[in-house]
A = this chain, B = another copy of it.
């Protein structure tokens, strides 16, 4: 999940699941198209991502893997984005994202397009580790893939 605070250290705590079937309520959820690409990605998971979400462009630094990660993000102007985006050729992915409130959480459902068409993933972000651990997944969630490199966006974009 994106955060957008430009001045402090951001830690994200989240879990990721495959999706068995899309819930009916999805039709009412907010949705947007996401295009993202990777400028550089280290073997340990540390990377710099460019993203266009609707009309908003951003650059995000992430480090760590699994449920707990540090993340820093800045908003980019259109010219800044345009100058860097060509550097991500061959390292991009495209998805349709739905943002659906569920109990006290916001579930992000990503329906991948193009080369990963057919893959559907849900992510839930938590305010703390306890909420993260206690989370009971809804029935339409499939297998948990938190920290599974196979489903990391960097891997999906570059494979």
Give the B-binding residues of A (Cβ under 8 A).
6-7, 9, 39-43, 46-48, 59, 61, 63, 70, 72-76, 79-80, 82-84, 86-87
Complex CA gap A7/B82 in Å reads: 7
Given contacts A42-B42, A46-B40, A61-B39, contact A84 B79 (CB under 8 A): no
One complex includes copies of this chain to the number of 2
Given contacts A40-B40, A40-B42, A47-B40, contact A83 B79 (CB under 8 A): no
Collect the chain B residues with CB atoms within 8 Å of residue A59's CB.
Answer: 59, 84
Complex CA gap A70/B41 in Å reads: 17
Contact of A83 among B43, B48, B74, B84 (CB under 8 A): B74
